[in-house]
Amino acid sequence: MTRKKVLVTGGAGFIGGNFVQYMIEKYPEYEIYNLDGLTYAGDLTKHRGIETKDNYHFIKADIVDYEIIIPLFEKHKFDYIIHFAAESHVDRSITDPGVFVRTNVVGTQVLLEAAKKIGITKFVHVSTDEVYGELDFDPTTFFTEDTPLQPNSPYSASKASSDLLVRAYHHTYGLPINITRCSNNYGPYHFPEKLIPLTISRLLNEEKIPIYGDGQNIRDWLHVFDHCVAIDLVLHEGVNGEVYNVGGHNERTNLEVVKTIIHSLGKSEELIEFVTDRLGHDKRYAIDPTKLEQLGWKPTYTFETGIAQTIQWYIDNNAWWEQIISGQYQKYFDKQYSLEILKK
Ligand code: NAD
Ligand code: DAU
């Protein structure tokens, strides 16, 4: 029997990286291809434990590069595509939107075209709850799959655009697709520009924590391991053409998140620094995951168990994030926050 070929784009990043490791472990009978362009967010050191496995393959490629992607698909004839590769940081999209359109919109279209040419079993497009825009602070309101798309940042607008292309390739060409829209992930290998790993890594170095605005914005936190299980379920059981929201009812204000980490590490709240708000900062995200639960998914982490596991992981794996924050990333950090906390 020929082995199923699974292409994971963005498998050197945070969620894609966790997903590659999950798939290698769970499906030794599959061939896993990790395709990644290795931008600033891509890092292969996380795969040292699996890179010698026979069923793991790495391909360095830019998803926008049609001349490379089409022949690659024709050569390998992938069965499954799980598409994570993207520019993912909202702050970067505010200062440099163009690259978000390039990768998230054009790159997705190139992959769809390649998938259409070879015929595939399933294309799972990993999207975000941010495409729905923002909710107000009424705790009884949630994003469902029927919530209209009203993206507010260049990042979420580029993701919403890619969702529409995926939908169109299903409607027009019958491409077997699913779109998943998840809330904020956290867990191992989260890049330290995002709130939770930024807070943990800076606290471990006794550095100030920048909180945008008044810290009352709410996010709905999802452990990356629970997210991997959800994508696996959608890949194998999702009804073609359907959208599935992924979230675990773990709403917290940013201030609550930061204070939880501060207390867990035994640090002082004086390290909190309120800084200028993010432009267009969405107030609240909250997911209604009923549809995915009906497919059979249930998260295993509460925020309390997940954040404790994550903090411990960052303590145990300081070498991983220290090599990141000491390099090119430091230049980004200095520019993003310079006037606010670096001078204090
Ligand atoms: P990430 O930034 O950690 O990783 C992105 C990966 O994509 C990197 O390895 C990078 O090298 C690769 N990449 C970027 N541009 C590329 C290109 N042109 N060609 C090939 N590879 C390229 O992102 P993440 O946080 O792991 O997010 C993965 C996906 O999940 C994204 O599509 C994102 O929109 C979505 N998502 C993320 C979250 C979250 O909380 N992190 C929540 C909802 C949805
Ligand atoms: O909701 C899903 C989205 O979650 C994903 O689609 C994005 O790829 C992912 O980056 C994440 O977006 P957010 O903007 O919500 O995540 P971030 O970690 O950047 O910020 C979380 C919250 O914390 C947000 O309200 C902004 C705030 N924040 C963030 C940073 C980096 C701060 O207060 N200070 C900071 O320094």
Amino acid of residue 162: S
pLDDT digits (tens, 9 = 90+) for 74-115: 999 999 999 999 999 999 999 999 999 999 999 999 999 999
What's phi and psi for 58, nearest 5 deg? -110, 135
Q: How far is the CA of 9 from the centre of ligand 1 (A)?
A: 9
User: Which residue has its alpha carbon closest to ligand 2 atom 21?
Assistant: 195
Residue 197 has pLDDT above 90, yes or no: yes
Q: How far is the CA of 70 from the centre of ligand 2 (A)?
A: 34
Domains of the chain with bracketed CATH: 5-186+221-249+285-302+329-343 (3.40.50.720)
- Percent of the chain predicted with pLDDT > 70: 97
Q: Is 135 in the pocket of ligand 1 (CB under 6 A)?
A: no
What's phi and psi for 239, nearest 5 deg? -80, 130
Our mutation pick for probing the ligand 2 site, out of 153, 159, 184, counting the most ligand atoms within 8 A of Cβ, is 184
**155 given a catalytic annotation:** yes
The CA-atom distances, in angstroms, between 73 and each of 12, 28, 103, 171 are 19, 22, 18, 22
Q: How far is the CA of 176 from the centre of ligand 2 (A)?
A: 31
Tell me how far the alpha carbon of residue 210 is from its chain's centroid. Answer: 22
Q: Which ligand is nearest to the CA of 276?
A: 2
Asked if 197 and 314 count as a contact pair (C-beta separation under 8 A), the reply is yes
The lowest-confidence range among 163-177, 215-229, 311-325, 326-340 is: 326-340
Where helices occur in 27-139 by DSSP H, the ranges are 66-76, 90-95, 98-100, 108-118
Q: Which ligand is nearest to the CA of 285?
A: 2
Q: How is residue 304 written in tokens?
A: 């309390």
Q: Is 159 in the pocket of ligand 1 (CB under 6 A)?
A: yes
Q: Is 187 in the pocket of ligand 1 (CB under 6 A)?
A: no
Helix, strand or coil for residue 203?
A: helix
Contacts of 215 (CB under 8 A, 6+ apart): 253, 254, 255, 258, 272, 274
| The pLDDT value given to residue 107 | 99
Q: How far is the CA of 180 from the centre of ligand 1 (A)?
A: 14
For the chain, give the longest Cα–Cα distance: 63
**129 given a catalytic annotation:** yes
pLDDT digits (tens, 9 = 90+) for 246-262: 998 999 999 999 999 99
User: Which residue has its alpha carbon closest to ligand 2 atom 20?
Assistant: 195
Q: How is residue 107 written in tokens?
A: 């790159």
pLDDT digits (tens, 9 = 90+) for 126-153: 999 999 999 999 999 999 999 999 999 9
Amino acid of residue 332: Y
User: Which residue has its alpha carbon closest to ligand 1 atom 36?
Assistant: 128
- Percent of the chain predicted with pLDDT > 90: 93
